[in-house]
């Protein structure tokens, strides 16, 4: 199982891939905006195995697309409730990642964390939730980019960046990390 810490993620030239970007990111416009919301308790992280949609079969945090008129924060609360039955209290914005796929699809994903919530954890048609020890995050079953930025988020840092994927394969990335929680 792949594990990451900041030592194995951001510094290892992880900030930027060795390949050049196939896109001009200055003209990037997302087709959709989405969120991921990672619920945390000491030493543990709530993850889901996604059952349908983009990333079906993969492990990630609860999340989904923003609806018209909805803020990313509102989306984090709604999607977490819909996918796992929990309502995060005061989700904390920890950055945004811009994704471009080889088929032309563009997705901007806002990252949130929360340490308090209400409700009862439950499986839904969209997700199978489970608590994972933070030292045992199953990165090999997640999107390839998660190991690059999630360790920094779990250390309380904010991230922003661009990623280019061909199918499930990450071909380009450019990441920035900040302690000020105002990235983006």
pLDDT digit string, tens, across residues 46-104: 999 999 988 899 999 999 999 999 999 999 999 999 999 999 999 999 999 999 999 99
* Element holding 133 (H helix, E strand): strand 127-133
pLDDT of the residue at 180:
62
- Answer yes or no: is 4 within a domain: no
Residue found by looking up tokens 């380009």 in the block: 172
CATH number reported for the structural domain that contains residue 131 in this entry: 3.90.79.10
The verdict on residue 150 lying in a domain is yes
The answer to whether 61 touches 150, Cβ cutoff 8 Å, is: no
Question: Which range (50-54, 130-134, 179-183) has the least confidence?
Answer: 179-183
Query: 117 with 46: CB under 8 angstroms?
Result: no
Name the pTM for this structure. Answer: 0.88
Structure letter (DSSP) for residue 10: I
* Residue 97 falls inside a structural domain: yes
Q: How many domains does one find in the chain?
A: 1
* 81 belongs to a structural domain: yes
- Does residue 12 fall inside a structural domain? no
What is the per-residue pLDDT for 21?
A: 82
Confidence category of residue 12, pLDDT binned at 50, 70, 90: very low
For residue 112, the enclosing domain spans 28-178
Considering the domain boundaries, does residue 91 fall inside one?
yes
Domain assignment present for 1 = no
Contact indicator for 59, 47 with CB cutoff of 8 Å: yes
Structural domain contains residue 155 = yes
């Amino acid at each position: 199982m792949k594990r990451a810490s900041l030592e194995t993620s951001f510094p290892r030239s992880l900030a930027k891939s060795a390949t050049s970007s196939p896109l001009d990111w200055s003209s990037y416009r997302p087709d959709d905006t989405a969120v991921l919301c990672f619920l945390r308790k000491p030493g543990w992280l709530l993850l889901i195995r996604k059952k349908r949609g983009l990333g079906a079969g993969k492990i990630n945090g609860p999340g989904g697309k923003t609806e018209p008129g909805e803020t990313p924060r509102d989306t984090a609360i709604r999607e977490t409730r819909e996918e796992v039955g929990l309502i995060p209290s005061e989700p904390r914005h920890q950055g945004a990642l811009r994704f471009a796929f080889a088929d032309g699809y563009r997705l901007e994903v806002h990252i949130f964390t929360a340490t308090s919530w209400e409700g009862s954890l439950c499986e839904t048609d969209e997700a199978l939730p489970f608590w994972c020890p933070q030292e045992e995050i199953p990165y090999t079953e997640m999107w390839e980019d998660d190991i690059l930025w999630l360790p920094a988020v779990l250390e309380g840092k904010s991230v922003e960046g661009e990623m280019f994927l061909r199918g499930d394969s990450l071909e380009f990335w450019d990441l920035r990390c900040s302690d000020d929680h105002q990235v983006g």
